[in-house]
Amino acid sequence: MTTTEPLLAAPMHAAPAEILLIDAATLALVDMNTSARANLGYDGAMPQGLRASDVAPGLDDGALGALLAGLSEDIGDQRCLRTELRRADGSSYPAKLTFLRTQRDGRALLLAIGDDLSPEQAASSALAQYQTRFNAIVDHTPGLVYQFLLAADGRHSFPYLSEGCASLLGVQPAQLQLDPDLFLRLILPEDRKGYLEAMAVSKISLSSWNWEGRIWIDAWKDVKWINLRATPHAAGGGAVQWDGIMTNITDSKIEQQEALRSRARLAELTEHSEQVKEQERARIAREIHDDLGGNLTAIKMALSMLSSRLPQDQPALLEKATYLDDLVDRTIEAVHRISLDLRPSTLDLGIVAALEWQAREFEKGSGIACIFRSAEREIELDPDHAAALFRIFQEALTNVAKHAGATRVTVTLRRQRQHLTLAICDNGRGIAPADRLKPHSFGLRGMSERARALGGTLTLSAAPGGGTMVTIKIRLAPPAARSEQKEQ
Q: Do 165 and 72 share a structural domain?
A: no
Q: What is the pLDDT of residue 190?
A: 95
Q: Tell me, yes or no, whether 14 and 80 share the same domain.
A: yes
Q: What is the DSSP letter of 84?
A: E
371 and 283 within one domain: no
| Contact between residue 55 and residue 85 where contact means Cβ atoms under 8 Å apart | yes
Both 330 and 453 in one domain: the answer is no
Model confidence band, residue 233 (pLDDT cutoffs 50, 70, 90): very high
pLDDT bracket for residue 1 (50, 70, 90): very low
- DSSP SS3 for 341: helix
Q: What is the pLDDT of residue 224?
A: 94
pLDDT of residue 31: 87
Inform me whether the pLDDT recorded for 212 exceeds 70. Answer: yes
Given this model, what pLDDT does residue 146 score? Answer: 92
Q: Say how far apart CA 474 and CA 457 lie, in whole Å.
A: 7
The reply to whether 289 falls in a domain is yes
CA distances from 415 to 46, 352, 376 (A): 103, 11, 8
Point out the domain boundary residue: 307, 342, 377. Answer: 342
User: In a 3-state reduction of DSSP, which class is residue 311?
Assistant: coil
pLDDT at res. 480: 46
The total number of structural domains in the chain stands at: 4
Above 60 in pLDDT, residue 372?
A: yes
Residue 471 lies in a domain: yes
Regarding pTM above 0.75, the answer is no
Q: In this predicted structure, what is the pLDDT of residue 443? A: 65
pLDDT > 90? residue 291:
no
Residue 140 is predicted with a pLDDT of: 66
Would residue 228 count as lying in a domain?
Answer: yes
Give the DSSP letter string of 409-463: EEEEEEEETTEEEEEEEE-SS---HHHHT-TT-HHHHHHHHHHHHTT-EEEEEEP
Asked whether residue 130 is domain-assigned, the answer is: no
Tell me the pLDDT tens digit for each residue of 235-264.
Answer: 888 999 999 999 999 988 888 888 888 877
Q: Is the pLDDT of residue 487 over 70?
A: no
Residue 460 lies in a domain: yes
Question: Are residues 357 and 459 part of one domain?
Answer: yes
In a domain, 184, yes or no: yes
**Residue 246: per-residue pLDDT:** 94
Tell me, what's the pLDDT at 136?
64
- Identify the domain containing residue 74 by its residue range: 10-117
The domain that holds 103 is classified in CATH as 3.30.450.20
- Does the pLDDT of residue 2 top 70, yes or no? no
Confidence of residue 290 (pLDDT cuts 50, 70, 90): low
Query: For 41, phi and psi rounded to 5 degrees?
Result: 85, 25
- Distance of CA 3 to CAs 6, 13, 31, 188, 395, Å? 8, 17, 11, 85, 113
Q: What is the pLDDT of residue 287?
A: 73
8 A C-beta contact, residue 476 and residue 422: no
Mean pLDDT on 5-15:
78
Residue pLDDT, tens place only, 416-428: 878 889 998 988 8
In this structure, of 14-18, 76-80, 307-311, 359-363, the range with the lowest mean pLDDT score is: 307-311
Angle at 66 between CA 60 and CA 70, to 5 degrees: 140
- 479 has a pLDDT exceeding 70: no
Q: Which of 182-196, 350-364, 375-389 has the highest mean predicted lDDT (pLDDT)?
A: 182-196
